[in-house]
Structure 1
Amino acid sequence: MNKLVFTPAYQLARMIKEGQVSAVEVTQAYLNQISQYNSQLNAVCTLNPEALETAKQADAALAKGENWGALHGVPITIKDTFETAGLRTTAGYEPLKDYIPTEDATAVARLRAAGAIILGKTSPSQLAGDYQGINDLFPRVNNPWNLEYTSGGSSSGGAAAVCAGLSPLDLASDNGGSIRQPAHFCGLYGLKPTDRRVPTTGHIGDTTTMDFRCIRQMFTVGCLARSIEDLSLCIKLIAGADARQPDIPPVPLDIEEKSLENLRIAWIDQIPVYPVAEEIKFAMQGVRKKLADALINVESWVPKYDFAHAWEVFYAVGTYNLIYTQPTDLKSVREQMAFLWREATQGDKSLRKISKVPNISLPIFLQPSLKGYFAALTKRDNLIAQMDRELEQWDVLLCPVAMTTAFTHRAKGAAIEIDGKKVPYQMANGAYIVPFNLTGHPVVVIPIGFTKDVPIGMQIVGKRWKEMELLSIAGKLDRIIGGFRLPDY
C-alpha cells in the first residue's frame, strides 16, 4: 500500500511545497488506488482525464517559484452534484448523463483557485435525495468496511473514496445529513457548516433546466476528510460571500480558541423518542468515560426542544424547497410513490406515527400555497431561536449521528432493523441529523468506535457562525477519543 494515499491533504500540500514528493507522484498514487479498488466500491463515477497533466503543471509552476495556494498540487474529489467546468456532472440523474458544465460551482472554483487538482467526481444518490448511494447511472456505492453495507448518502461515493484512500478530501453537500451520515457509516470526519456559510451556487439540487433557485433553506456545502485539520483547511477556502448568490452574508470566520479545561460540554447518548442502537449507546458512553478519565467535564443534558415538531417542520420546509425540482416522468413518479408507500407502511407502529413523512409531504405536493410556505418558515424561525437559547449555556453538544449504524443494501425506503425492531427508513437515518439542518447549526462528525462490521461516528454541534471554534474543540476531543482507522480491505 502506498502511504501517500492515506496522508491528509494538509500534509500532502506541505510535502509537495517542500519538495518531499511531487504533485505527479501523489496524483499517480491516487489514480493507482482508484484503479485497484474502485471496481469494488463504485465510489468514483467520472475520472478527470486531465488530472495528471494538471499535476505536471503544478510541479512546473512550483519549480519556477509559483505558489497556487494552500492546496497546490493536491488531488481531491468532487461530489457529482457540483458543476465542474469541462467535466461531466450528472447528479446520478438520467437526463443529465451527458451534461458538461461550462463553469465551476463556486466552491469548486475556490478549491481550484487554491491549487487543488480535481481527480474526478464521486457518485451520489440520485439528485442527492437518499441515504444510500443508489442512482440511475452508476452501480450502487459500497462501504469499504463491508461491501454488503451501504456507505450512506447522499455523499455516498465521497465517503467511500476518502475512507478507502481514493481521495484525501471530498467536496460534499448536506441537506438532510448527506455529509454526516456517510461520515458516521464510514468512520470519517465530516463538516456541515452553518446554513449559508458556503455558497451553494452550481450545485444540482435544482435541475439544470430551471431558471430559478428553489432550495433556499437548510442546504449546506461542506466536506469529508480523514482529519479535522483537512476540514478546517477546506472551510477556510470555500466559505464566504458570492456575487452569484447574494443571500450568502459576508460573515468572517471566527478565530476564537478555548482550552478543554474551561469547556462546557453537553452529552446525550439518546433522545427518548428516538432510541438508538445499543452499539451506538455503548460507543457514546465510551466517549464520556474517556473524557472523564482525561478530567474533561461532560454533563448529561437533553435540550428542552421539541424534536418531533422539528421533524415535521423540516419535512414541510424541505417539501416546499423541493416541490418544483422533482422529476415528473412516469418512472420517477413511480419511484417516489413506492418510497412513500414503504415509509408509510413499514416499521414500528409508534415510531411510524412519529415519522409522518407521507402525511407531511403529500398534501404539500398536491396543494402547495404561499401561505403554507411562510407558515413553515415561521415555525422554523421559532425552532432556530429555541435551539439557540438551549445551546447558549454550552460550548458544544455531543450526540449520536443516527439511530442506526451502517446497514446492508436495500430498496430506498425499506425499513431498518435496530436491535430487533423495525424502524422507518427516514427516521432511522435522519432523526438526529435533520434538526440541525432545520436550525442551521454547524456540526462536525468524528469517528468514535466500531461494531463488528462497521464504524460509529458522533456529532459535535456548535453555535451558529462558530465553525472554527467548533473545529478547534472537535480536534481537541478527537485526540482523546480516537481517530481515523484504515478499513480492513
Structure 2
Amino acid sequence: MRESVRSHVWNRVIVLLATAVIAIGSMLTSTALAAGAPFPYEEITVDELLSGYESGEYTAEEVVQAYLDRIAKYEPKYNAFTVLNPNVLEEAREIDRKRKAGEKLGPLAGVPIVIKESVDVAGFPSTMGWEPLAPEKGGIALIPEKDAPVVARLKEAGALIIGKTNIPAFSASGTSASTSWDGDTYNAFGRQFAPGGSSSGTAMAVSGNFAVLGIAEETGGSIQNPAAAQGVVGIKPTFGLVPNVGVVPLGGSTRDVIGPHARTVKDAARMLDVIAGYTHEDPKTVAAIGNMPEGGYMSRLNTQALQGKRIGLLGPGWRDMELTPETQELYDKAIQDLEAQGAIVVPDPFAGSGFAEYVAGITTGNGIESLIYDFQDYLERLGPDAAVRSVEELLEKTGQKPSVFERYYAEDVPDPSGEPDLSEFIEVRTHLLNIFNAVMDKYELDALFFPQMYKETPTLDSGENIGATTVSEINMAGVPLVTVPGGYYKSGAPFAVVFVGKMWSEAELLGYAYDYEQATKHRKAPVLEE
C-alpha cells in the first residue's frame, strides 16, 4: 500500500513538473515577449485590476497570461519560483465565466498572487527549501493533502495562485535563499544585492511585477527584511492574528507569523483582511477575536492619519547601534516627511528603559524551544498518505539531520511527542512587553518609526547579513510592524522605514504607513535584466 501511494505521489509530481515545463515553453513564443514590448500591468493595484475586470477592459485569462509571459522572460535571471501552477489559466477562465454569468465573486477574484514555499498548497510539493525533499533533485516528495488556512482563504476570495516562491532551507536565513535546493533568488533592484530572506522569492515576485500580491512568513525578519531590500510593503502581524498552521515551523507555537507583501499599503491591507482572523484549525487565533477593526484593515487608510500623532524614533535605548552616514541621511529625510504630515516625533523614547540591554542579554527563551514539537505537528497535518508523517520518519528516510535541527539540537533530538518547556520564553515575552508597553504609555506614543536597516542591503556575494533594526525584538514580543519604501541609496538599493506599535494595532499602523506612502510615493518599478 505504501509503495502504491508513493508511486501515486511521484506521478502527481512528475505531471505537475512536466506541465509546468510545457507551459513555460509555450509562453516563450508569446507575442507579449516581443523585444521592447511593455508589460501592460506594471505596478497595477488591486483596485485598478478589479475595475478593469468590471468594465470589461480585460479578462483574468489575459492578465494571467501576461504575467506568465513576463515570468518566462525574466525568471531565468531572478529565480523567484520553485514551481508554477499549471492550472492557473484554467482557474482564470473559471473566474471569467463566473464574472460573465453574474455570480458572486470574492474580494480578490482574478488577482494573481504567489505563495511562499513553506506554506502548504494542496497538491504542490512542500520541499522546505531542502534538497532531500525536492523531487527535482531526486528527493522525497511531500505533497500536502489540504491547504494551509491562509491559502484556503485566498482561494475562497478568488485569488489566482501563480506559483510557490523560493526560500532558503527551512527559512533559516534573513538575508538570502542561497541554501535553497533551487539556488539563489536575486533582488529585483539589482542582482548584485541580497534579496532578503527568508521570503526571498515572494518579495522578488511582487517587486518585479510577477504577481500583484504575495504571502510571506516570518520568525525573525523574514517578512520585513525582503520587503525592505526589494522596495515593497510588508505586514508582520501580531502573533495569533493570522493562522500559521500548515506552514513549515521554526517557532510555530511562539512567534511564526504569516503576512502580505504588496506594492502599496492599501493592497497589503486588503490581503490582510482576507487572511486574518480566527479558525478552529489554529486555536492560537482565538486571541484575534475582538482585536480586529470594524470595517477591516483598509478602514483607517487616509492622508491625515499622522496628524497630531506621537511617534517614537530610533535611538540607543532600542538598540545600541550606529546608522551608516547614508542611512542616517535617508532616515533624517524620512523624519522630516513624517513631521510634514503633522506627526510629533519623540527621540529615543526607550532611553533608560533597559530594553536594549535586556535584548542583548537574551541567550535562551527566544521561542525556538518549540521547534521539534511544532515540526511534528506540521508533518502529521500533511495527511495520511504523506511520504513522511513524523520527525522520526524524516530523519530515517532522508538519512540526514536538517541543519536547523543541528543548530538547536546539537546532540540528540528530543522526543517530539512530549511538551516543550516554554517557561523561559514566557518570561522573555512578558518582560519585553512590559518594557515596550510602559515606554509607549509613558510618552503617549501612537507608534515607533525606524529605518528597517542600519546599513545598506549588502551584496549577495559579500557574505554579510542584512542589518535589520527590529529583528528579533518584535518577534519575541509578538508586536506588529509595517514596512514601507522610504527612498533609495546612491547605489540604487531600496531604503525602507517601519511603523511598529502595540499588539493588535495593525489598522492604525497601516493608516500611518498609508499617509507616509501617499506623501512621499517612493516606490518605483525596478528595471529587470533579461
The TM tier, using the shorter chain, reads: 0.7 to 0.9
Change (3 A) 1:10 1:78: farther
CA distance in 2 between partners of 1:262 and 1:365 (Å): 55
Partner of 2:194: 150
Letter in 2 for 1:103: K
State how far apart, in whole Å, the 2-side matches of 1:245 and 1:293 are: 42
Q: For residue 262 of structure 1, what is the aligned residue in structure 2?
A: 308
Secondary structure in 2 matching 1:46: strand
Contact persistence 1:5–1:29 (CA under 8 A): no
Give the equivalent residue in structure 2 for 1:284: 331
For 2:411 and 2:446, locate their aligned partners in 1 and report how far apart those are by CA, in whole Å.
Answer: 37
Deviations 1:98-135 (A, max 9, x none): 22221110001001100101110111111111121123
| Partner SS for 1:456 | strand
Work out whether residues 269 and 285 of structure 1, in 8 Å CA contact, stay in contact via their aligned partners in 2: no
Tell me how far apart the structure 2 counterparts of residues 335 and 266 of structure 1 sit (CA, whole Å).
Answer: 36
Measure how far apart 1:277 and its partner are.
Answer: 2.6
Q: In structure 2, which of residues 66, 90, 100 is the aligned counterpart of residue 29 of structure 1? A: 66
Structure 1 counterpart SS, 2:241: coil
Structure 2: stretches of 5+ with no match in the other structure: 1-37, 135-140, 376-390
Separation (CA, whole Å) in 2 of partners of 1:363 and 1:273:
31
Say whether the 8 Å CA contact 1:405–1:454 is kept in structure 2.
yes
Deviation at 1:480, TM superposition (A): 1.9
Q: Deviations over 1:432-462 (max 9, x none)?
A: 2211111111100001111113101111112
**Would the alpha carbon gap of residues 164 and 334 (structure 1) be closer, same or farther in structure 2, given more than 3 Å must change?**
closer
The partner residue of 1:274 within 321, 325, 345 is 321
Return closer, same or farther for 1:262/1:364 CA change in 2, 3 Å cut-off. Answer: farther
The offset of 1:192, in angstroms, is 0.5
Counting only pairs closer than 5 Å after superposition, residues 424-443 of structure 1 correspond to structure 2 as 425=465, 429-443=467-481
SS at the partner of 1:215? Answer: coil
SS state at 1:143 partner: coil
- Please give the secondary structure, in 2, of the residue aligned with 1:38: helix
**Residue in 2 aligned with 1:448?**
486
Aligned counterpart in structure 2 of residue 74 of structure 1, from 86, 94, 111: 111
Query: Helix, strand or coil for the counterpart of 1:247?
Result: helix
Question: Structure 1 319/159 Cα, relative in aligned 2: closer, same or farther at 3 Å?
Answer: same
Worse overlay, 89-98 or 134-143: 89-98
Q: How does 1:348-387 map to 2 (within 5 A)?
A: 373-387=422-436
What is the letter of the counterpart of residue 133 of structure 2? L
Per-residue deviation, residues 231-271 of structure 1 (Å, max 9, x unmatched): 11011100111111112122342247474322112222665
Question: Given the superposition, is the C-alpha separation of residues 66 and 315 from structure 1 closer, same or farther in structure 2, using an over 3 Å criterion?
Answer: farther
In the alignment, what sits opposite 1:469?
508
Contact 1:86 1:101 in 2 (8 A): yes
Alpha-carbon contact 1:195-1:440 (below 8 Å) kept: yes
Shift of residue 332, structure 1, vs aligned partner: 5.3
Secondary structure of the residue aligned to 2:268 is helix
**CA shift at 1:136, angstroms?**
3.9
Q: Give the alignment of 1:205-224 within 5 angstroms.
A: 205=249, 215-224=252-261
* Structure 1 counterpart of 2:18: none
SS of 1:405's equivalent in the other structure is: coil
Aligned residues: CA RMSD = 2.7
For 2:339, give the aligned amino acid: A
Matched residue, 1:399: 450
1:275 counterpart SS class = coil
C-alpha contact 1:43 1:142 (8 A) present in aligned 2 = yes
Aligned to 2:31: none
CA contact 2:39–2:66 (8 Å) conserved in 1 = yes
Whether the 8 Å CA contact 1:195–1:441 is kept in 2: the answer is: yes
Alpha-carbon contact 1:180-1:433 (below 8 Å) kept: no
Whether the aligned pair in 1 keeps the contact of 2:216 and 2:260 (CA below 8 Å) is: yes
* 1:323-362 pair list within 5 angstroms: 323=372, 325=375
Q: Distance in 1 between matches of 2:461 and 2:482?
A: 27
Partner SS, residue 17 of structure 1: helix
Cross-structure match for 1:85: 122
Question: Relative to structure 2, which stretch is displaced further, 193-202 or 264-273?
Answer: 264-273
TM-score between both structures, scaled by the size of structure 2: 0.78
Q: Which letter does structure 2 place at the counterpart of 1:120?
A: G
1: CA distance between counterparts of 2:339 and 2:484? 18
Indicate which of 38, 47, 50 corresponds to 2:87. 50
Q: Could you tell me whether the CA contact under 8 Å between 2:365 and 2:424 is conserved in 1?
A: no
Tell me by how many angstroms 1:371 deviates: 9.3
Displacement after TM superposition at 1:302 (Å): 3.2
Greater Cα shift, 322-331 or 142-151: 322-331
Q: TM-score, normalised by structure 1?
A: 0.84
Q: Following the alignment from structure 2 to structure 1, what is the Cα–Cα distance between the partners of residues 254 and 476?
A: 8
Once the two structures are superposed, what CA deviation does each residue of 1:350-378 show, in whole Å capped at 9, x if it has no partner? xxxxxxxxxxx678989999896312321
Q: 1:33 to 1:128 in 2, by over 3 A?
A: same
Cα offset, 1:20, TM superposition: 2.3
Map residues 67-216 of structure 1 onto 2, 5 A cutoff.
Answer: 67-97=104-134, 98-131=141-174, 132-205=176-249, 215-216=252-253
Separation in structure 2 between the aligned mates of residue 235 and residue 179 of structure 1, nearest angstrom: 13
Q: 1:174 Cα deviation (Å)?
A: 1.0
Q: Structure 1 residues 370 and 120, CA, compared in 2 at 3 Å: closer, same or farther?
A: closer
Residue 479 in structure 1 maps to residue 518 in structure 2:
yes
C-alpha distance in 2 between matches for 1:336 and 1:104: 25
Contact 1:79 1:170 in 2 (8 A): yes
Q: Kindly, what percent of the aligned residue pairs are identical?
A: 27
CA distance in 2, matches of 1:62, 1:95: 43
Distance 1:330 1:302 in 2: 51
Deviation of 1:315 (Å): 5.7
* Matched residue, 1:349: none
Q: Which moved more, 1:4-13 or 1:21-30?
A: 4-13
